[in-house]
Amino acid sequence: MNVDNEKSQMRKGMLEYCILLLLRKEQAYASDIIKKLKDVHLIVVEGTLYPLLTRMKNDGQLSYEWIESTQGPPRKYYQLTDKGLSVLAELEVSWKELSDTVEQLSN
């Protein structure tokens, strides 16, 4: 078994959940999301985020609006939809279960 592969699989599984968590508080520009995710080492290359955001938007979990920017053209700000909120609620439950299980096993 490949440890690196395992780690990246774990991160990948978490990524969607984390994006939903980040967007629950406030709407955000893709670069802001990248910065936050990079700070916590959830993504290695920035290109990973864009297909994921588009996929989540097509799935109806996210929506975006164009907001004027002081430096250059208008920017796409992403926010959660109702569906996104319900997906987040489901993921939170299963994350809780998972972390409880891991907690129990490690003790």
Partner 1 sequence: MKKTLTVNLGGIVYQIDEDAYRLLDNYLNNLRLHFRKEEGADEIMDDMETRISDLFSEKINEHKQVIVAADVEEIIARMGKPEEIESEEDETEQKSADNEKKQRDSTTTDHHNESTTGKRRLYRDPDNRMLGGVASGFGAYLDCDPTWVRLIMIILIFIPYTPIVVAYLIAWLLIPEARTATEKLSMHGEAATVENIGKSVSDGFNRMSEKANDYIDSGKSRSVLRKIVDMLISVAAFLFKAFLVMLVIICFPVLFVLAIVLLALVVVSVSVLFGGGAALLALLPAINWAPLQTFSPMMTVVSSISMVLLVGIPLAGVLYAILRQFFHWSVMSTFMKWALLIVWLIALVVFCIGMYHVGGHLPVHCYGGSLFI
Site for partner 1 in 77-106 (CB under 8 A): none
Residue 11 interacts with partner 1 (CB under 8 A): yes or no: no
**What is each CA distance from 84 to 47, 58, 61, 95, 99, in whole angstroms?**
22, 11, 4, 16, 22
Contact window for partner 1 (CB under 8 A) among 17-25, 52-60, 87-95, 99-107: 52-60
Contact window for partner 1 (CB under 8 A) among 20-28, 54-62, 84-92, 95-103: 54-62
Interface pattern 16-45 for partner 1 (x via CB under 8 A): --------------xx--x---------xx
- Half-sphere CA count of 94, side-chain side, radius 13 A: 8
Q: 7 or 96: whose CB is closer to partner 1?
A: 7
Residue 55 interacts with partner 1 (CB under 8 A): yes or no: yes
Rounded to 10°, the helix 3-25/49-58 angle is 60
**What is each CA distance from 96 to 40, 69, 102, in whole angstroms?**
20, 38, 10
Contact call for residues 20 and 78 (beta carbons, < 8 A): no
Contacts with partner 1, residue ranges (CB under 8 A): 12, 30-31, 34, 44-48, 50-51, 53-55, 57-58, 71-73, 75-76
